[in-house]
Amino acid sequence: MSVIIRDDGFHDDDYSGSGVLDIAQDLLPHALPRQFDGIDLIRVAFPSSADGRGFSLARHLRALGYKGRLRAKGHVIADQYTMARRCGFDEIEITDDLARRQPADQWAFRADWRDHDYRARLKG
C-alpha cells in the first residue's frame, strides 16, 4: 500500500480516473509529452531521495501547460516536501514503511511552504 501526502496531511489514494501517465526520473525533458488530452494524473518516479531529476521534470511539465494532478511517487522525504510543492507537484506518494518512519507531523511542519519562501519575505 501507499500513503498520499498533501498540504492537509496523509490520505488514502483517492484517484479513480483512467488517464495516468508514469514518467521515469531519467526521462529527458525534450521527451516529455506536449499534449495532455485524457491525462488527469502524472506520476513522476523518485527511486531515491538523492535523485532530484523529478523536480526538474515537474517544473517542465507545468511549463508545458499540464494542469492536472502531478504526483511525486517513491522515495521523497519530508525535508523535500517544500521543494516538491514549489516545483509543481500537488501530492507525494510514499510507501507505508516510509510513512511510519516519517509520520504526518513531519510533513505537516512543511505544509506552509507558500509562507516561507523568499518571495513571501520580500512582499512582507
pLDDT tens string 42-98: 999 999 998 999 999 999 999 999 999 999 999 999 989 999 999 999 999 999 999
Domain count of the fold of the chain: 1
Where are the alpha helices (H) located in 26-114, listed in sequence order?
Answer: 53-63, 81-87, 96-101, 104-108
Strand spans (E) along 17-116: 20-23, 41-46, 69-74, 91-95
Write the CATH number for 113: 3.40.50
Torsion of CA 104, 89, 92, 9, to 10 degrees: 30
- Which pTM value belongs to this model? 0.89
Indicate if the pLDDT at residue 115 is higher than 70: no
Indicate if the pLDDT at residue 122 is higher than 90: no
**83 three-state secondary structure:** helix
For the beta carbon of residue 120, count every other beta carbon within 10 angstroms.
12
Note down the domain range covering 17.
2-123
Question: What cell was used for 103?
Answer: 509520520
